[in-house]
Structure 1
Amino acid sequence: MANRFILNETSYHGKGAINHIADEVSTRGFKKAFVCSDPDLVKFGVTQKVIDVLESNGYTYELYTNIKPNPTIENVQTGVEAFKKSGADYIIAIGGGSSMDTAKAIGIIIKNPEYEDVRSLEGVAPTKNKCVPILAVPTTAGTAAEVTINYVITDAEKNRKMVCVDPHDIPVVAIVDPDMMASMPKGLTAATGMDALTHAIEGYITKGAWELSDMFHLKAIEIIARSLRGAVDNTDEGREGMALGQYVAGMGFSNVGLGIVHSMAHPLGALYDTPHGVANAIILPTVMEYNASATGDKYKYIAKAMGVEGVDGMSVEEYRKAAIDAVKKLSADVGIPADLKDIVKVEDISFLAQSAFDDACRPGNPRDTSVEEITELYRKLV
């Protein structure tokens, strides 16, 4: 069986990258932008940086901000109607996963109206047409939604997240500018950074992993491990490293899938509105322990990428523990809670476990699992 790899047509990286938006709009002959960005980014002037580029070059746009941190079906539906009325011919998504996921769903439905029932997009929907062209500008160093073929929408009525996988939704251009991430508060920087690390580690050990994806994931782990602490302290080096590291992780996991860390994190976001990165960071070490026996020698290379010394002289048990301990330490150093006690209600665990088992990320986990085993993993964390 052949392995498939899908990436952006074009990506820009580094300080000042947003100025290339004007070049892309001109080259591609776009007329009017539908700018998707969440209200806080508008309030704090982050979105304005991109709007300034559009306005200074005489490009028209319409701003759409009905986007929640965990975007809902309703956010997508109102966005579809707003796009139709706007006369826009492309989308600029500015933000974290929330803005980009909303933009992807809107863009898919506009070009594939037979999927206007947002729930019909869950899983791998066999859409026929590429979505409305998206220029994606991340403001967080974590989700890598600007380079993935995935998006996640919350079904608020059922308290669950829908993972949607569609090669037609990938943004045509990614603009990865660390200056767009400089205003992130420490807590958000830490959470999104640990989300990126989770992408890299889960992508590296997932059932679909192979040599090309391994290359991206190991490099991403290395970059994130050396950059995240600095990014939380708002150093230029740390911000630039995380901007790149999270993108490199996205290049990999988008093409090979994830595992039950994400499966277990998704229902926490749907039920409690828990920040996705925080949920992943808390769950990751426990699931790494659970998966260790199904990962061969991969934890040896994770430990090395995390900066652990003396790995070559360790036994299998020692380097697996070293990899997990390095993840725990990084998480603690950037202020992530150690457990889910302040998040999960014990009476919800059965619902959470079933939701996690039903999640689209679960089949990629290196160790086959069950509702009962996922239940026990939640219980270990509360």
Structure 2
Amino acid sequence: MHPFSFATTAQLICETGSSRRLAGLCKERGARSVLVVTDPGITRFGLLDEVLPGFEHEGLPVAIYHQVLADPPENIVLAAVERAKSVKADLVIGFGGGSSMDVAKLVALLAHPDCTQSLADIYGVGNARGQRLPLIQVPTTAGTGSEVTQIAIVTTGATTKMGVVSPLLLPDLALLDADLTLGLPPAVTAATGIDAMVHAIEAYTSALKKNPLSD
């Protein structure tokens, strides 16, 4: 066996219906103001409808940024960061597909009160510095695995993308609630299921950075 290193999310909760206690999990982490980063489809399909009442029950202020687009451009990331700052969020939740979770990672980093870096500063591998806000990721599709990776991808132009790669982007908690996958359109369920399968095949058959944990 070749030497390897493996890093992932600190805590995983895999539990049907667990998203309904998301507010309590935020409260346990000392949150006083929470920002949920998501996309218009999540709100349109009502996937937050059973989640948000918990915040009212806990007396925990929550704001929602729901303008994330697929392959999010820089202006979406920066708008989400400003939203986090405006509500003085001290915990960020990525709720949805990979794009929402990628944006949430960057918001948690760039909206930290002590952050002195810009988005342009952190592109590349290991360029992010300092601290980030507490981060919880809640995937609603099967495919991307963004909730357990240290990468965020941003669209920087008409045909260009850049990545931010840093252990700082690994969330504190990934909440895996299978109930959230049930309300999606059939085409999304099929496409993201195939995405998950292809990711698994690629990891298993790859000669690069292959390791027993990924197998």
Same-fold status (TM-score > 0.5): yes
Q: Is the 8 A contact 1:153 1:162 kept in 2?
A: yes
Q: Percent identity?
A: 33
- In 1, Cα distance between the equivalents of 2:47 and 2:195? 22
What secondary structure, in the 3-state scheme, does the structure 2 residue paired with 1:21 have? helix
Larger relative strand fraction:
2
1:161 partner amino acid: K
In the alignment, which residue of structure 1 is the partner of 2:9?
8
Q: Is the 8 A contact 2:101 2:146 kept in 1?
A: yes
In the alignment, which residue of structure 2 is the partner of 1:107?
108
In the alignment, which residue of structure 1 is the partner of 2:167?
167
Q: Is the 8 A contact 2:12 2:176 kept in 1?
A: yes
In the alignment, which residue of structure 2 is the partner of 1:78?
79
Return 5+ residue gaps in structure 1 as ranges.
215-382
Query: 1:158 deviation in Å?
Result: 4.1
Change (3 A) 1:189 1:27: same
Equivalent runs, 1:11-22 vs 2, <5 Å: 11-22=12-23
What secondary structure, in the 3-state scheme, does the structure 2 residue paired with 1:35 have? strand
CA offsets 1:49-70 (integer angstroms, 9 cap, x no match): 2212222222111111121122
1:90 aligns with 2:79: no
What secondary structure, in the 3-state scheme, does the structure 2 residue paired with 1:40 have? helix
- In 1, Cα distance between the equivalents of 2:84 and 2:100? 14
- In 2, Cα distance between the equivalents of 1:159 and 1:119? 17
- In 1, Cα distance between the equivalents of 2:194 and 2:167? 25
Kindly report the root-mean-square deviation, in angstroms, between the aligned alpha carbons of the 2 structures: 1.9
In the alignment, which residue of structure 1 is the partner of 2:186?
186
Change (3 A) 1:20 1:206: farther
- In 1, Cα distance between the equivalents of 2:182 and 2:175? 15
Query: 1:173 deviation in Å?
Result: 0.9
| Residue-pair matches, total | 212
1:202 aligns with 2:202: yes
- In 2, Cα distance between the equivalents of 1:47 and 1:54? 11
- In 2, Cα distance between the equivalents of 1:30 and 1:206? 42
2:101 partner amino acid: M
- In 2, Cα distance between the equivalents of 1:6 and 1:210? 12
- In 2, Cα distance between the equivalents of 1:75 and 1:206? 36
Q: Which is bigger in relative contact order (C-alpha 8 A, separation at least 6)?
A: 2
- In 1, Cα distance between the equivalents of 2:33 and 2:45? 24
Q: Is the 8 A contact 2:16 2:178 kept in 1?
A: yes
- In 1, Cα distance between the equivalents of 2:4 and 2:116? 29
Query: 1:211 deviation in Å?
Result: 2.1
Q: Is the 8 A contact 2:21 2:51 kept in 1?
A: no
What secondary structure, in the 3-state scheme, does the structure 2 residue paired with 1:129 have? coil
Query: 1:2 deviation in Å?
Result: 5.3
Return 5+ residue gaps in structure 2 as ranges.
none
Query: 1:12 deviation in Å?
Result: 1.2
In the alignment, which residue of structure 2 is the partner of 1:211?
212
- In 1, Cα distance between the equivalents of 2:64 and 2:4? 39
Change (3 A) 1:61 1:92: same
Q: Is the 8 A contact 1:12 1:176 kept in 2?
A: yes
TM superposition outliers: structure 1 runs of 4+ over 4 Å: none
Query: 1:147 deviation in Å?
Result: 1.2
In the alignment, which residue of structure 2 is the partner of 1:219?
none
1:31 aligns with 2:69: no
Q: TM-score, normalised by structure 2?
A: 0.90
